[in-house]
Chain A
């Protein structure tokens, strides 16, 4: 149980375009999902907390207009990187929790390359 999927696993896009990444909890309902970004050989940095039916809460320094997060259902959250630039190339990982008291279950990650 407690499986989280991400789609796509890898994506290459041109600079200036937008990319959408999906995060799904497959066998549980997730009231909260988290989005992280990880640059090579660095730590996971929390970008935002996504709550079903409400606006995402962004961490300091994360541009909410650039990284659009939507949590439209209890099993799906999406992250859209708008007007992507090469510096947005990174490994994006989501996690999901059934409730705020439960552990986070991580998705397999999405590797974004912006050319």
Chain B
């Protein structure tokens, strides 16, 4: 079977740092992606980790440890517009993405 676990909700204040963890158990694994989705919108790509380590893209960073089947998304200098759902997704065979249940991030003033 395939499963991804991530927290259902996270709350933070503007300017803070938030880490969203994701653990996975899948039959095939090529990498871990992160997507952002605002209510009513389509998912937008944030980052991808194919190898262990940290990938940094502006205020967002993502980390992967393949040996621990674990990754996280780190959001720094939070802004109100970062309030959204964040999904981790495992890239498996045939370029298939298997999504986690999503983490709803609420950023407060």
- Interface on A for B, CB 8 Å cutoff? 32, 34, 41-46, 49, 57, 93, 95, 97, 100-109, 111
Contacts and interface: CB of A to CB of B under 8 A. Distances in A.
Given A93-B43, A109-B42, A42 B96 contact: no
B87 interface: yes
A49 B98 contact: no
A104 B42 contact: no
Interface of B: 33, 40-45, 48, 87, 94-102, 104
Given A32-B95, A34-B97, A49-B94, A43 B42 contact: no
Nearest to A109: B42
Contacts, number: 48
A57 B97 CA distance: 14
Contact of A100 (B33, B94, B97, B102): B94
Contacts of A97: 95
Given A43-B87, A43-B102, A103-B48, A108 B42 contact: yes
A93 B97 CA distance: 13
A107 B42 contact: yes
Contacts of B40: 111
A33 to B, nearest CB: 11
Given A43-B102, A103-B48, A108 B97 contact: no
A105 B101 CA distance: 20
Given A34-B96, A49-B94, A104-B97, A44 B43 contact: yes
